[in-house]
Chain A
C-alpha cells in the first residue's frame, strides 16, 4: 500500500515541479496565435472537408500499425512476474523488430516534412 502511495507522491510532486518550472522559467509573451482557440494546429475557421497533404496518410498508416502493436504489451504485462526473464527477452525481440520497421520508415523519409 505504501509503495503505491509513494509512487503517487513522487510523480505528483514531479508533475507539479515541472509545471511550476514552466511558469517561472519560460518567457510569457502573448501573441495572436496563442490567444486563438486550441484546434490542433489547423485554422479554426475553414471549409468542412479540405484535402490535406498525402504525407499525412503515410503517417496515419504507420500510426495505425504501431498503435495496434502495443496491444500485445497488456497481456505481457499481466504475466510478466510469472515468466520473468523469458518474458523480457521475448518482448525485447518483439520491440527490436518494431524498431527495425521504424528505422526503415525513417530512412525512407516518411517523417520529412517538405
Chain B
C-alpha cells in the first residue's frame, strides 16, 4: 500500500534527534540527563508504532522505501539496541567526562540512518542511510574529547569508514552501468536476464561487498575494529558491535536472498564470501586468544561472530540469521553492560588483571557476566547455543559441510578466551584493589533485561522463531 505511513517511524526518530539536538543548547548543564529520557520516550513511541504496523505493508517514494515485516523486525532490534545503549550511558557519560547532549542526538541520527538502510530497496538510498549512520558514528567514537585514545579511534574509524564508502560508491556506479538501475530489484532483473555475469557487474558487486565488509568488520577488512572499539566510549563500543553489523547483514540479506535464488552458487561472488567467512571466523578467534584488554577481546569476538553470520548468508537462510542477530544483541550488550559496570569516576577497569576476584567481590556482576560469556561461546541452554545451532544446521542442509566444520572448530577456539575471563573472575586472587561505582539502576536494568533475553531465546525460542519466520516469508521472491 502506497502511503505516507511508511515514513512515520523514520520521521519520528528524525524529529526526536533534532529536538534533542536543539534542547542540548538550550538546557542547563545539570538538566542534560533529561535528554536521555526524552530519547527513550520517542523510542518507545516508535516501538508501539512497529507493533501497530506489523500486519500491514506500506511503501512510499515509488517503492524505494518499504516498511515490510523484515524492516520492522530490524527496527525492533535497532530500537532495543539504542535504548539499551542510552540506558547504559546515562551514568557513564557523566562519570567518564563525555557528558555532551549531542551523545543522544547522534545516537538517534545513527538510528535513523539504520532505519533508512533496512527499509530501502534502492542501493542509492541505502548508501545515504549508510552515510548518516557512519558520519554520526565517527563523531560518537570521538566523543570523549579530552581522551587521546578516543580521538584516535575517531580518526581511524573515519578514515577507514570513508575509504569503504569510496568502494561502495564505485561498486554502485559499476552496477548501475551494467544493469541500468540502482534498485535491488532492477539489478536482480539484470542478473536474471543474463545468466553469465558480465565482468563489470561482478566487480561492482565485489566492491559493494568490500564496502559492506568494512562496516560489518569481516576479515580482511577488520583492521580498524579493535582500535576503534578500544578507544570509543564503552557504551558506544557496544552500539558499534551490534548496530552497524546488524544493518550490514540486513542489506546483505536483502541482496543475497534475492540474488542467490537466481544464479547457482558456482560464482566468483560465492567463493569470495566463503573465503571471507572462513578467514573471519578463524582470524577473529585466534587473535582474541592473546588479548588482555576486555574491550579488545570483545572486539575480536564481534569479528568472529560476523563470520558465523556470514555462514548464514552463504546458507541462504534468513531466519537463522535473524535469530542469531537477536541472540547476539542480548548477549553482547549484556557483556558490555558488565564491562561498563566495572568503572568509577574517571576510570574504567578494562585489563584482565582487574577482573581477578571480581566474581566473589561483586557476585551479581560476576554471575551475569559469566552467563553472557557462556552464551557468546555457545554453551547450552543459552541463546548463543541455539543461534549457532540454527546457523550451522542450515549450512549443513545446504551442503556446506567444510564451512560448518571450520565454524565449529572456530567456536571451540573461542571457548578458551571466553572462559579465561571467567577463570580470572573466580579463580585468581585479586592483584590490585578495584572500587566501582554501584549506584547505577539503569545499567542493572539493562543487565537484567539482557539476561532475560538470553535465557528466553535459549530455552523458549518458539515465539521469536514464529515472528522471524513470518518476517522472512513476507519477502517477495
Interface residues of A (CB under 8 A from B): 97, 100, 103-104, 107-108
CA distance A97 to B24 in the complex (A): 16
| Residues of B with C-beta under 8 A to A107 | 25-26
B22 at the binding interface (Cβ < 8 Å)? yes
Which B residues lie within 8 Å of A104 (CB)? 21-22, 24-25
* Bound CA–CA A108/B21 (angstroms): 11
Q: How far is the CB of B169 from chain A (nearest CB, A)?
A: 16
> What residues on A are CB-neighbors of B18 within 8 Å?
97, 100
Question: Can you name the residue of chain B whose Cβ is closest to the Cβ of A103?
Answer: B22
Q: How close is B379's CB to chain A, nearest CB, in angstroms?
A: 48
13 contacts between A and B (CB under 8 A): A97-B18, A100-B18, A100-B21, A100-B22, A103-B22, A103-B25, A104-B21, A104-B22, A104-B24, A104-B25, A107-B25, A107-B26, A108-B25
CA distance A100 to B24 in the complex (A): 12
Main secondary structure of the interface of A (DSSP, over half): helix
Nearest CB on A from B113, distance (A): 15
- Closest beta carbon of chain A to B392's beta carbon, Å: 46
CA distance A111 to B21 in the complex (A): 18
Contact bitstring B25-36, A, C-beta under 8 A = 1, else 0: 110000000000
Residues of chain B lying within 8 A (CB to CB) of residue A97? 18
Per the bound structure, the CA–CA distance linking A26 and B21 in Å amounts to: 44
Q: Kindly list chain B residues whose C-beta atoms are within 8 Å of the C-beta of A108.
A: 25
**Given pairs A104-B22, A107-B26, 6 additional interface contacts (CB within 8 A):** A100-B21, A100-B22, A103-B25, A104-B21, A104-B24, A107-B25
Chain B: minimal CB distance from A36 (Å): 40
Within 8 A of A (CB), among B10-26: 18, 21-22, 24-26
Residue of B nearest to A107 (CB): B25
Q: For the complex, what is the distance from the CA of A104 to the CA of B19, rounded to whole Å?
A: 11
Q: How far is the CA of A22 from the CA of B18 in the complex (A)?
A: 43
Closest 9 CB pairs of A and B: A107-B25, A100-B18, A104-B21, A104-B25, A108-B25, A100-B22, A104-B22, A103-B22, A97-B18
How many angstroms from the CA of A97 to the CA of B21 in the assembled complex?
11
Interface class of chain B by DSSP: helix
| Closest chain A residue, CB of each to CB of B25 | A107
What CA separation (Å) do A100 and B21 show in the bound complex?
9
Q: In the complex, what residues of A have CB within 8 A of residue B24's CB?
A: 104
B26: A residues at CB distance < 8 A: 107
Residue of B nearest to A97 (CB): B18
Residue of A nearest to B21 (CB): A104
- Name the CB-closest residue of B to A109: B25
Q: Which residues of B contact A100 (CB under 8 A)?
A: 18, 21-22
A107–B25 alpha-carbon span in the complex (Å)? 6
CB distance from A65 to the nearest CB of B (A): 11
Cα separation A107 to B24 with both chains bound (whole Å): 10
Name the B residues within 8 Å of A103 (CB-CB).
Answer: 22, 25
Measured CB to CB, the closest approach of chain A to B413, in angstroms, equals: 46
Q: Bound state CA distance, A38 and B25, in angstroms?
A: 39
Q: Complex Cα distance A108/B105, Å? A: 15
Tell me how far the C-beta of A86 lies from the nearest C-beta in chain B, rounded to whole angstroms: 12
* Minimum CB–CB distance for A105 against chain B, Å: 9
Residue of A nearest to B19 (CB): A100
Residues of A within 8 A of B22 (CB): 100, 103-104
Question: How far apart are the CA atoms of A107 and B26 in the complex, in Å?
Answer: 8
Of the listed residues A97, A100, A104, A107, the one surrounded by the most CB atoms of chain B closer than 10 A to its CB is: A104
Complex CA gap A103/B25 in Å reads 9
- Minimum CB–CB distance from A72 to chain B (whole Å) comes to 13
Q: How far is the CA of A103 from the CA of B24 in the complex (A)?
A: 12
Q: Give chain A residues whose Cβ lies under 8 Å from the Cβ of B25.
A: 103-104, 107-108
- B24, closest chain A residue (CB): A104
In the assembled complex, how far is the CB of residue B10 from the closest CB belonging to chain A, in whole angstroms? 13
Q: How far is it, in angstroms, between the C-alpha of A97 and the C-alpha of B19 when the chains are bound?
A: 11
- State how many angstroms separate the Cβ of B26 from the closest Cβ of chain A: 7
**Smallest Cβ distance from A54 to chain B, in angstroms?**
14
Bound-state CA distance A107–B28 (Å) is 13
- The distance in angstroms between the C-alpha atoms of A104 and B21, with both chains bound, is 7
A108 vs B100: C-alpha distance when bound (angstroms): 12
A109 CB to nearest B CB, Å:
9
Chain B nearest CB from A10 CB (Å) reads 39
Q: Which residue of A lies closest to B14 (CB)?
A: A97
CA of A13 to CA of B37, assembled, Å:
58
- When chains A and B are docked, how far (Å) is the Cα of A32 from the Cα of B89? 58
Minimum CB–CB distance from B17 to chain A (whole Å) comes to: 10
Docked pose: A104 CA to B109 CA in angstroms? 15
A108, B18: Cα distance in complex, Å:
15
Q: How far, in angstroms, from A100 to B26 measured CA to CA in the complex? A: 13
* Least Cβ–Cβ distance between B128 and chain A, in angstroms: 13
Give CA–CA (A107, B18) in the complex, Å: 14
Instruction: Give Cα A61 to B277, complex, Å.
Output: 40
Closest Cβ of chain B to A8, distance in Å, is 40
- Could you tell me the distance in whole angstroms from the C-beta of B429 to the nearest C-beta in chain A? 50
The smallest beta-carbon distance between A83 and chain B, in angstroms, is 14
Residues in A with CB closer than 8 Å to B21 are 100, 104
Q: How far is the CB of A96 from chain B (nearest CB, A)?
A: 9
How close is A68's CB to chain B, nearest CB, in angstroms? 13
Shortest A106–chain B CB gap in Å is: 9
Closest Cβ–Cβ distance, residue A103 to chain B (whole Å): 7
Q: How far is the CA of A104 from the CA of B22 in the complex (A)?
A: 6
